[in-house]
A and B are shown apart, each in its own frame.
Chain A
Amino acid sequence: MLSIRDRAAIIGIGQTEFSKQIGKTEHRVACEAIAAAIADAGLTPADIDGIVRYDIETNTELAIIYSLGIPHLRFFAGVTSGGGAVCGTIVLAAMAVATGQANNVVCFRARNRGRRSVSGPGKFGGGRPWEKTPTLLTDFYQYHIPFGLVTPAQEMALIYRRHMHEYGTTTEHFGHVAVAQRAHAARNPNAVMRQPITLADHQHSRWIAEPLRLLDCCLETDGGCAVVVTSVERARDARHPPAYILAGAQAEGPIHIQLADYFQHWKEDTGGRAVARQLYGMAGIHPEDINAAMFYDHFSPAVLLSLEDYGFCAPGESGPFVAAGNIAWPTGRLPVNTHGGSLSEAFIHGYNHLLEGVRQIRGTAACQVKDAQLVLVTSSNTDPTGAIVLRR
């Protein structure tokens, strides 16, 4: 059967600095990250013939190729959604190189999403998208926003509250995620937030949208990340050990901006569970084979839902799982977001998680999991979603 299993690899990673206000355009941020990834792969821009981006990315293919001097693209595509797009970009790139539609594909995310980094009036022109909500609502948001349900934190709070009700999950469980990831970030010189926090700090941080507190929320960061995907054949000549893409999958189901539909179906199935089934089937592995996971974490309880969706815990058991120290490097059974994740390293719409997954496979992470053979990276689990498994 045709498959992308073991047909492609990530051979280059690149990024800018991460900061609350980078003072550069998103265009420049993208150029810096992509140039760094191409150099890390041991390639030049002339070797690049494919680009995959988020469809909400403000940098078009054209903007990238005329700045980097990429002479000829053969493949270009966008993946819908924001945090739901992370791993889908890699899946598309792997499909392209596996089928010969491209040789070397750049995938990237560049953003100015610090609070003060507004560069244009459009919804995705920097800063917080929700702050630019129009007065006249013509899309699905018209069933939420008039009631004061505006921000991702508010939307996700509804989902997490129901999880607490169903399973007895507590806000202390959320706190264990935040504390563990901050401890990881403390060792990571790249991380924006490196000051260790305690469970008490978490419990005393202010409410944003109950049951979410400030320390449950991801950072708002400026910065860019890029990777280079190539075929397994070409990967053998790369400068660094390749991170082979063992498997990759996407799913789109009921999403969190359409809460009505999310709650209609979530007990039966979720996008994350649909991805997990495809992913493990393609890879021929089980959750217990995975050595580390980079879960999309716009909010700390997103990690709890992912632990359940991807089969590391039964539904409802993720709270006790994290409270027992299972996601903390180096002693946990499944170190999670070893770079600090979106909560503490940076919020690059999940793209920094891909870079950390590659570092774990290369053996160069600040919190390196010993002998990491298989690393799971996921997209946001309530959006259109996706995931990949990287292997040595």
Chain B
Amino acid sequence: MSQRVTPPTPDQPVPVANFDNHGFWEGCRQHELRLQRCRACHIFRHQPRPMCPHCRSLDYEWARASGRGTVYTFTIVHGPTLPAFQAAAPYNVIVVQLEEGPFMVSNLVDCVAEHIRIGMAVEVVFEDATEATTLPRFRPLR
């Protein structure tokens, strides 16, 4: 497993799953990156939403994504930031363009800030942020 970049603290904000997005967070708990894929036009989408913005279909599945992508952009956060994260600063936040097309906000682990590059290939890893929440993070593709 990779190093933890944002240690969990009692006040760490966590996602609350709902009817439209539960498949994403449930997938994370099972260490699978699952994205919404429209059953009508087969286009992947993230962030989750009830309707396909391409064909307006309400019919979708939670499809397993490859977990691979490239870094589209990134920042190194120094702060101020939330107390739950400040101790980890400076830490990175990346936007990954997934192989399936959608973009996703995440963190890059197993990589020092100086080595983060736009365009670098990455793959998903899963880290338990709290007892109930698992977050999809990424590491350089080996």
Interface residues of A (CB under 8 A from B): 130-131, 133-138, 140-151, 154, 157-159, 161-162, 165, 206-212, 258-261, 263-264
Contact with A along B69-93 (1 / 0, CB 8 A): 0001111111111100100101101
Bound-complex Cα distance A211 to B116 (A):
13
Q: Nearest B residue to A163 by beta-carbon distance?
A: B73
Bound-complex Cα distance A161 to B113 (A):
14
Q: Find out whether the CB atom of B103 lies under 8 angstroms from the CB atom of A260.
A: yes
Bound-complex Cα distance A212 to B93 (A):
14
Bound-complex Cα distance A21 to B126 (A):
44
Which of chain B's residues have a CB closer than 8 A to the CB of A158? 73-75, 93, 95
Q: Find out whether the CB atom of A146 lies under 8 angstroms from the CB atom of B73.
A: no
Which of chain A's residues have a CB closer than 8 A to the CB of B14? 135-137, 142, 146
Q: Find out whether the CB atom of A209 lies under 8 angstroms from the CB atom of B107.
A: no
Q: How many residues of B sit at the interface, in one of the four size bands? A: 35 or more
- A151-B81, A161-B74, A207-B78 given; A259·B103 CB < 8 A: yes
Q: Find out whether the CB atom of B47 lies under 8 angstroms from the CB atom of A209.
A: no
Q: Find out whether the CB atom of A263 lies under 8 angstroms from the CB atom of B93.
A: no
Which of chain A's residues have a CB closer than 8 A to the CB of B133? 146
Q: What 16 additional pairs, Cβ within 8 angstroms, besides A137-B15, A154-B75, A158-B93?
A: A133-B82, A135-B12, A137-B16, A143-B47, A143-B105, A146-B129, A147-B93, A149-B93, A150-B81, A162-B73, A165-B73, A208-B79, A208-B80, A210-B76, A263-B103, A264-B102
Which of chain B's residues have a CB closer than 8 A to the CB of A209? 75-78
Sample of 16 A–B contacts (CB below 8 Å): A142-B14, A145-B82, A146-B13, A147-B93, A148-B91, A154-B93, A158-B73, A158-B95, A161-B74, A162-B118, A207-B76, A210-B78, A260-B95, A260-B102, A261-B47, A263-B103
Which of chain A's residues have a CB closer than 8 A to the CB of B80? 151, 208
Contact of A136 among B6, B13, B91 (CB under 8 A): B13
Q: Find out whether the CB atom of B72 lies under 8 angstroms from the CB atom of A162.
A: yes
Q: Would you call B104 an interface residue if the criterion is a C-beta within 8 Å of the partner chain's C-beta atoms?
A: yes
Bound-complex Cα distance A135 to B15 (A):
8
Q: Nearest A residue to B130 by beta-carbon distance?
A: A146
Which of chain B's residues have a CB closer than 8 A to the CB of A162? 72-73, 118
Q: Find out whether the CB atom of A260 lies under 8 angstroms from the CB atom of B13.
A: no
